[in-house]
Amino acid sequence: MIVIKELVKQYPHATTPIINQLTLNVVKGESVSIRGASGCGKSTLLALMAGFEEADAGTIQIGNIALPCDREKDADAFRRDQLGVVFQSFNLLDCLNVWDNIAFTARLKGVVDAPYQEHIMDTLGIAPLRQKMPSALSGGEQQRVAIARALVHRPSVVLADEPTGNLDETTSDQVAQALYSICAELATTLIVVTHSNEVAQQAQTPMWLRHGTLHAAPVAGGR
């Protein structure tokens, strides 16, 4: 499903690449967690996979899409049709209520399915919140809305960047569980970037990002 080969990304004024010959293979429906120290490049890797940024070298293949796309409209279509993204800071549209926020991606793709949306909202426990505005929700509620939005249009891949980063411990567990279970139910490939061990261990394939590459195990003595 996801094949990354020898990916390199270096920011201006940095002495070393933050992503350095990274390689990754993810099968369809697999859940992968990526941990690492602050500033190690976890969010950068997700941004590259989402097409928000372009790598300096290497290839990313997600399904039949090769990133970066030659044409911008292909990249837009990829994000619209194939991808679901969950952000650390929720990134809901402040001007739309919960229902419209969630439905937005489905409407964008043209695959509105109200019963399906209801099901997702029930699963995530946010059905009663449908008319509320994001500013009236707690952090956990907002993140669950964001997860529902990322899934409602049946993407092939969901990228979650620190989905529990702004939540307390109890809520983190609930949100993480919801995310993993619903992705498993929908057989959606899931990549979760997190610094939380509890969240990372729920993935089928936990990984570590260190010195710009991915590893299956932490370094000895590392946190």
Partner 1 sequence: MPRRLWAIQHWWLMVRTLAAMARQKPWQPLLIVVAIMVATGGLSSVSLINAGASQGELANTTPGLLSGAMVVARSPEHSITRADYVALRKAGFTQLIAISRDSGPFRCGSAPASGRGARDISRAVEIIGIDTLAMANANLPLARALADAANSTAAPQPIPGSVSSVSAASPALVSRLDCPGGISRDSGIAIRPPTPLTQIPDNTIVVPLAAFYTGNYTLHNRPISALVAATPLSPRQQNALTRQLPVHLKFKPPPAIQQPGTLSDSFQLNLWAMGMLMAVVALFIVLNALTLMYRSRLPQMVRLRQLGVGRYSLINALLGELALYCALATPAGVLAGVALTRQLTPTLSSTFANLFNAPFVRPSPLLAELLLSAFAISFAALVVFFVVPARQLGGALNRRSRRTTPLNTAQRLCITAVIVVVNSVAILTADSTLWALISVALVLLGGSLLIILWLPGFTRLLVRGVPPDYPLAGYVVASTYAFSAKSRLAVCAFFIALSANIGMNVMTDSFRQATKSWLTQRLAAPAYLYSATPPSPSQVGSNITARISYRGYTQVNGAPVTVRSVSDDKTSQDSLALSQQLPNAWTLFSQNQAVLINQQMALRQHLAPGAKITLGSVRVKDQVSPHHIGPAERIVAGVYLDYGNPDAQLLLPLSVFAPAAGFAGVTALYNVDGADLSALKAFGELYETSALITTSMATFDRTFVLTDALNIVTLLVAALAFAISVSVLTLDLQPQLTLLRTLGVRQWQIKAALGAQYMLLCTATAMVALPFGIGLAGIFIYQVNRFAFSWVYPLQLSAQVLISSVLFSLAVILVVLLLPLGRLNNKVDLRQEGAG
Q: Which of 34, 49, 67, 78 binds partner 1 (CB under 8 A)?
A: 78
Q: Which of 70, 94, 217, 220 binds partner 1 (CB under 8 A)?
A: 94
Q: Which of 32, 79, 148, 180 binds partner 1 (CB under 8 A)?
A: 79
Q: How many CA atoms, within 13 angstroms, populate the side-chain half-sphere of residue 15?
A: 1
**Backbone angle region of 203, left / alpha / beta, with phi > 0 → left and psi within -120 to 50 → alpha:** beta
42 belongs to the binding site for partner 1 (CB under 8 A): no
**Backbone angle region of 63, left / alpha / beta, with phi > 0 → left and psi within -120 to 50 → alpha:** left
How many residues line the site for partner 1 (CB under 8 A)? 35
221 belongs to the binding site for partner 1 (CB under 8 A): no
Q: Which of 31, 117, 142, 172 binds partner 1 (CB under 8 A)?
A: 142
96 belongs to the binding site for partner 1 (CB under 8 A): yes
Judge whether 26 and 191 are in contact, CB under 8 Å: yes
Least distance to partner 1, CB of residue 46, Å: 11
Q: Which of 34, 65, 85, 178 binds partner 1 (CB under 8 A)?
A: 85
Least distance to partner 1, CB of residue 144, Å: 15
What's the CA gap between 12 and 32, in Å, rounded? 29
What residues between 181 and 200 interact with partner 1 by CB under 8 A?
A: none
90 belongs to the binding site for partner 1 (CB under 8 A): yes
- The full 3-state SS of 132-179, as one line of letters, equals CCHHHCCHHHHHHHHHHHHHCCCCCEEEEECCCCCCCHHHHHHHHHHH
Total H helices, total E strands in the chain: 7, 10
What's the CA gap between 70 and 198, in Å, rounded? 39
Judge whether 99 and 131 are in contact, CB under 8 Å: yes
Span of 26-34, 56-64, 92-100, 184-192 interacting with partner 1 by CB under 8 A: 92-100
118 belongs to the binding site for partner 1 (CB under 8 A): no
3-state secondary structure of 95: coil
Footprint on this chain of partner 1 (rule: CB under 8 A): 47, 50-53, 72-73, 76-81, 83, 85, 89-96, 100, 104-105, 107-110, 134-135, 139, 142, 166
